[in-house]
Amino acid sequence: MKALPFLLENFINIFAIMIFYAIIGLHIFKGAFEYRCRISDTPINGETDWPVAENINYLCGNWKCPQETYCRAPINYNLEWN
């Protein structure tokens, strides 16, 4: 029973470190996984809903998009991302 306070203290420290790195990771990778093959080169009329090529199920960047689609992300145009 003497070890329980030490375990709790270590658990709280590890949890705080995990939260810290999670917040940093969210800021570093914000929008990095939103690079999709888009139907248009730029957002249409500044819309927040930017059309995606639905028949392509992978993120672009490592792979090229088919012709007449463009590898773009909303973060490049200061749009909200989900």
Q: Which candidate, 80, 82, 69, 13, places its Cα nearest to that of 36?
A: 69
User: 25 pLDDT band (50/70/90 cuts)?
Assistant: confident
pLDDT digits (tens, 9 = 90+) for 31-41: 667 788 888 88
Contact criterion met (CB below 8 Å) for 36 and 64: no
Whether residues 15 and 36 fall in one domain: no
Whether residues 60 and 37 fall in one domain: yes
Cα torsion for 67, 58, 31, 13, to the nearest 10°?
-160
Question: Structural domain of residue 24, as residue ranges?
Answer: 1-30
pTM, two decimals, is: 0.54
